[in-house]
Amino acid sequence: MEKRIRAFQQLGFGLFVHYGPYVQYESGEWAYELCRIDPKEYEKKALSCDYSSFDAEKIAPAAKSCGAKYVTFTTRHHDGFSLYDTRGLSDYDVMHTPNGRDLVREFVDACRRNDIVPFFYHTTLDWHHPDFENDFGRYQQYLRDSVRILCENYGPIGGFWFDGNWSKPAQLWEDDALYKVIRQSQPEAIIVNNTGLHAQGAFTHPEIDCVTFEQGTPKGWCSGKTQPGEKEYMGEMCYTLCWHWGIAQDIDIKSMRQILEAYTACRRVGGNFLLGIFTRLDASQPLLHQGYLEAIGQWVKRNEPALFDAVPGEAEGFGKDFMLENGNKRYAFIHDLSTSGDHNVLPGAKKGYSCFEHVTQKLKNAYWLDSKTPVEYTQDLANERLFVKMEPFSYGQNWVIRVAAFETESV
């Protein structure tokens, strides 16, 4: 695996922040299109919006609070409005608003102050630019010029996350030229081009470093499992807390179990997890989302050794359970545990063992990452099997997923 792709895999967990004129409507990132907003009205509201309350320091610390290592930020979404200084390329950008601040610059600076890696989302579809429908070749030059500005004026960027190629036939896109712009100025940047809900995991171009799984776990895919001579590439699942990417009047939030199981399903196959959160005009998150981020962060902190550097190995679990490895360390992820306690208070803890196959080395020094207490297990080396006792959470706790840590006798 190429160095930059492995470095991306080690980031493991990111936040996806959708921000733009649409946050004023609180009706999702597709408000312009799906709420049938008059184009002139939307444009006027985009350019007259007062972005003075935007505070990028409300984004980067939110990422740190939940244990995320990177943030993907919408520099331009499908509405065509740029949150960066387009340097005369367009007058439909944040520099032509009353506030006149380069919000992408502020985002990047805040990320660096907080040791968060900045990634740029950039649309390839454009509802606003007339050339998108009338002169697609000229539009793609405009797109490349836009990306060149982002490549040359914000220092090293973690990567570019494109979205919208699904809007036109694949043969019409000039992807070779677009990706060349990035490789010339940002050779270490990860290139992602979202294939959408209906083509999850599709590998569409040799320069792509990471395939996408929008709102779906990367089933049937595993990092590094390519044919000899083929490029090893990453996978990333992007997933929302609610059902919109941009802030909306949506309180149908997913359970913490759903969130953590989606996260670990990604790490099981060596993929990354990109979690979409609501962001207000001032860049803050609603209280409900803040609470979720804090809880996720507590779980990540307890299990951090198993989440970022560890990768899939030969060992396999059953059902949701799986094992990762990092050098002489092994990490068994155990799901569907409950909390122990008196039968008058709790219905009873799940008992038994979680079985893992293809465990070829003798293990020792086993303990639970969340409590540092010993793990009960038995090992059948002749049949390469490991049996981990399903120890429930002690009364007063339930962290959804437990991770048992082991060491091997030899590397």
d(Cα 123, Cα 116) in Å, to the nearest integer? 22
310-344 burial: b if 16+ Cβ within 10 Å, else e: bbbeebebeeebbbbbeeebbbbbbbebebbbeee
d(Cα 377, Cα 390) in Å, to the nearest integer? 9
Q: Two tokens at 22?
A: 């649409």
DSSP one-letter code for 235: E
> How much is the pLDDT for 379?
95
CB 77 within 8 A of CB 123: yes
Distances (CA, A) of 250 to 121, 179, 302: 23, 36, 30
Q: How many residues does the chain have?
A: 411
The CATH homologous superfamily to which domain 313-408 belongs is Golgi alpha-mannosidase II (2.60.40.1180)
- Long-range contacts, 177-181 (Cβ 8 Å, 24+): 177/140, 177/144, 178/140, 178/143, 178/144, 178/147, 179/205, 179/207, 181/144, 181/147, 181/148, 181/151
> How much is the pLDDT for 239?
94
CB 75 within 8 A of CB 56: no
Q: Which residues of the chain have pLDDT under 50?
A: 342, 344
DSSP reduced 3-state for 188: coil
> How much is the pLDDT for 88?
94
> How much is the pLDDT for 344?
44
For the chain, the domains span: 3-306, 313-408
CB 139 within 8 A of CB 123: no
Q: Two tokens at 157?
A: 């960027």
> How much is the pLDDT for 226?
61
**Model confidence, pTM:** 0.93
> How much is the pLDDT for 112?
97
Q: Would you give the distance in Å from CA 56 to the centre of its chain?
A: 19
Using the Cα atoms of residue 79, residue 84, residue 89 and residue 94 in order, give the sign of their dihedral.
positive
What is the third-level CATH fold of 3-306?
A: TIM Barrel (3.20.20)
